[in-house]
Chain A
Amino acid sequence: MPVSYKHIAPFFSAGQNRVSRWFSYIGLGVGVLLLLCSIQMYININHLLKDRNPKTDGFDYISVTKIITNENMAEDHSFSEAEIKELKGQSFISDATPLMANKFLVKATGGSALPFTTDLFLESIDNSFIDTIPADFTWREGQDVLPVIMASDYLELYNTVFAPSKDLPQFSAKSISAVMVQIECYAANGEVYIFKGHVVGLSDRINSVLVPPNFLDWANKKFGNSKKLNPARIFIKTKDANSPELLSFLQQKNYSINKDKSKFGRIKQVLQAIVSGLSGFGILVILLAMMLFSFYLQLMIARSKDNLQLLLTLGYSPKWLSRTVAKRWVPVYTIIVLSALAATMLFQYYFQHFAMKGREELSMIIHWSVAVVAMLLLALSILINYKMVSKLVHKL
């Protein structure tokens, strides 16, 4: 019969210190449970708050501006070349392009069919950022028809607010293209240039009145009185508008974005911070439990010191002794970690089933990474325990 722990068990006096031993077991269980639940919640949050915005090509397009506050109202809020370059350089931003605006006075009138006049603004952006580009969204110098892409929201506002109040006709998305609006550009010297504005498309993505970039370049040079041509709005293209990295970068730079697009990101940021804090707390509890257990081990080995020394004198190997003593706790650690894992599974089931009312994007079973972390924690506990015992035995 090979020698085993059973043969040396009577030589350990372990009994007196039950309280600290049980406290360390409970501490370890609670710590592991906290950590596993936090990881699972982190994954849940990611699943629940992902893809809340419709994406046409897998990207979110968001307009970025500088935050205007009471203190900085008087400052320039346009983006410099370097700032645009910096935006482009971020790993979480796939592309960035400025929205150029008109630097001269523009007015729109409807002519006899649509008796209204309004001040207007024009913007242009790189075509790749526009969701729908009609073939006729082009302009050449000398051309008096100016193609315009208008935000669909504006058409809605016109139809629901502007047209009824002025007794003007309403237009569908299709019929708007038939309407020609007169666009008057006022040069610095008072000269007026008139173009025939033609709505060639509607955009869900960009809230603006867009004209071809080459037109705006030309017009700003021809009619503009300002040398400053830096854009005040930048459009960015990103894989995830809710990415915490993007949000914290923008926050840090004092840039503002469409809150609707990123509100889940902000919630996610806060929730993830809470959950990360909870994991940190879990790790702390595990460390405290291990420390308590190490005190218990030290006390146990100190109490059995004479016996252990005699066992070594009689020919027991320190390595065998450490391994055999440490092995005694393998089933204990296994039970603790597996119980915590089972509790996490139960928690996930109840969370999905009751708290989240069975939402499909959430799984009823835990994520595989949680099980992997549990196994790693088990291996780590066993290893640390062995190292602690071995150190104490070799010190004898």
Chain B
Amino acid sequence: MAVFLIATYEYHLTKNIALFFNQEQQTISDVWKQDVIFNKAEQVHIVAPSGSGKTSLIHFLYGLRKDYEGSILYNNNNIKDFDAEKFAQWRQQHISIVFQDLRLFTEQTVLQNLEVKRVLAPYHTESKITDMAKRLGIESKLGKLCKTCSYGEQQRIAIIRSLLQPFDFLLLDEPFSHLDEANRMKAMELMNEEAAARNASIILADLKQIDYFKADRVLVV
């Protein structure tokens, strides 16, 4: 499989993209060893059981790992060829992410965690952080150290952080695993709004299909 994004912003995963490991399982996949294109503004749901390489795929798409065969093209440029500066610029302007393991600065406050992302490529004003925190019910946590927040709260912090920058693709790796139904829906609604405002695509990877994510396409890994 190869993913690529061209001038209209798309990821193109070329046909032979595959994990270096677990090759047998990949033979029945919609993604591995397939030619896949993600277009901008398209909502894609990737459903994958544990161990099928879901997180690996998200990391490949974000350029964190390079241990795959095939190519991932963004606007026809192979992201394996990006240097550190190009990745930085790309992650500031085009790609945003919610990691499965969240990756927050646990020793800093919630607000510092959000502000450090917002100031990098300001898309929203500072007050928008409070608005979003209020919508997801973590407003009271903004001044608290991140490590004192529950995992569910931290998940919402990571979601807000991903929405503070410009992007064409929002990559989500099990973003709701520790949220209750009501909070999941609120978070999904917020993300849909933000993606729509940017005419951006959401690529959501989860263990099972999420009903309230209105996907244009569902790919089973």
Given A307-B105, A310-B103, A315-B165, A7-B88 contact (CB < 8 Å): no
Contact between chains at A1 and B105 (CB < 8 Å):
no
Give the residue name and chain of the B residue nearest to A319 (CB): B85
B84 interface hit (Cβ, 8 Å) = yes
Taking a contact as CB atoms under 8 Å apart, the answer to whether B115 and A7 are in contact is yes
Question: How many A-B pairs fall under 8 Å by CB?
Answer: 49
State whether the Cβ of A115 lies closer than 8 Å to any Cβ in chain B. no
Chain A neighbourhood of B85, CB < 8 A: 317-319
Interface string of B100-126 (1 = CB under 8 A from A): 000101001000100111011110000
Do the beta carbons of B112 and A10 come within 8 Å of each other?
Answer: yes
Chain A interface residue count, Cβ-Cβ cutoff 8 angstroms: 20
> Which residues of chain A are within 8 angstroms of B88 by Cβ–Cβ distance?
312, 315-318, 320
> Is B91 at the interface (CB under 8 A from chain A)?
yes
- A199-219 with Cβ < 8 A to chain B: none
Measured CB to CB, the closest approach of chain B to A11, in angstroms, equals 6
Majority secondary structure, A binding face? helix
Q: Are A314 and B117 in contact (CB under 8 A)?
A: yes
Taking residues whose C-beta sits less than 8 angstroms from the other chain, chain B's interface range is 20 to 34
Instruction: Verify B92–A10 contact, CB threshold 8 A.
Output: no
Q: Is A291 in the interface zone, CB < 8 Å from B? A: no
B90 → A minimal CB distance (Å): 8
List chain A residues, Cβ under 8 A from B165. 315
Question: Is B22 at the interface (CB under 8 A from chain A)?
Answer: no
CB distance from A314 to the nearest CB of B (A): 6
**Which chain A residue shows the least CB distance to B89?**
A317
Q: Determine if A313 and B103 form an interchain contact, defined as CB atoms under 8 angstroms apart.
A: yes
Chain B's nearest CB lies how many Å from the CB of A152? 80
Q: How far is the CA of A396 from the CA of B103 in the complex (A)?
A: 16
A311 at the binding interface (Cβ < 8 Å): yes
Residues of B within 8 A of A85 (CB): none
Residues in A with CB closer than 8 Å to B122 are 1
Interchain nearest-CB distance for B87 vs A (Å): 8
**B105→A11 contact, CB < 8 A:** yes
> Using a CB-CB cutoff of 8 Å, which residues 312-330 of chain A contact chain B?
312-320
Rounded to whole angstroms, the CA-CA distance of A313 and B63 in the bound complex is 9
Scan residues 287-317 of chain A and give those whose CB is less than 8 A from a CB of chain B: 307, 310-317
Q: How far is the CA of A307 from the CA of B112 in the complex (A)?
A: 12
CA distance A264 to B208 in the complex (A): 93
A2 / chain B contacts, CB cutoff of 8 Å:
119
Task: Map CB proximity to B onto A152-196 as digits: 1 under 8 Å, 0 otherwise.
Answer: 000000000000000000000000000000000000000000000
Which residues of chain B come closer than 8 Å to A317, judged between CB atoms?
84-85, 88-89
Q: Are A312 and B84 CB-contacts (below 8 A) given A7-B115, A7-B116?
A: yes
Q: Does B64 belong to the interface (CB within 8 Å)? A: yes
State whether the Cβ of A3 lies closer than 8 Å to any Cβ in chain B: yes
A contact residues around B117 at 8 Å (CB): 314-315
Interface contact A1-B64, CB-CB below 8 Å: no
Asked if B120 contacts A316 (CB within 8 A), the reply is: yes
Cβ-neighbour of B64 out of A10, A313, A394 (below 8 A): A313
A8 near B121 (CB under 8 angstroms)? Answer: no
User: Smallest Cβ distance from B83 to chain A, in angstroms?
Assistant: 9
* B99 and chain A: residue at smallest CB distance: A313
> When the two chains form their complex, are residues A1 and B119 in contact, meaning their CB atoms are under 8 A apart?
yes
Q: Are B84 and A3 in contact (CB under 8 A)?
A: no
Contacts of A3 in B (CB 8 A): 119-120
Q: Find residues 41-83 in chain B having any chain A CB closer than 8 Å to their own CB.
A: 64
With a cutoff of 8 Å between Cβ atoms, the chain A residues found around residue B87 in the complex are: 315
- Give Cα distance in the complex from A8 to B85, angstroms: 18
Task: List, in ascending order, chain B residues with CB within 8 A of A307's CB.
Answer: 105
Known A-B contacts A314-B91, A315-B91, A317-B88; the reply to A8 vs B103 at CB < 8 A is: no
**Which residues in chain A, 1-36, are within 8 Å of chain B measured between CB atoms?**
1-3, 7-8, 10-11
Contacts A315-B87, A317-B88 known; list 19 others, CB within 8 Å.
A1-B122, A3-B119, A7-B115, A10-B108, A11-B105, A11-B116, A310-B103, A310-B105, A312-B88, A313-B64, A314-B91, A314-B120, A315-B92, A315-B121, A315-B165, A317-B89, A318-B88, A319-B85, A394-B84
What are 11 inter-chain pairs, A to B, with CB distance below 8 A? A3-B119, A10-B108, A11-B105, A11-B108, A310-B105, A313-B64, A313-B103, A315-B87, A315-B91, A315-B120, A317-B88
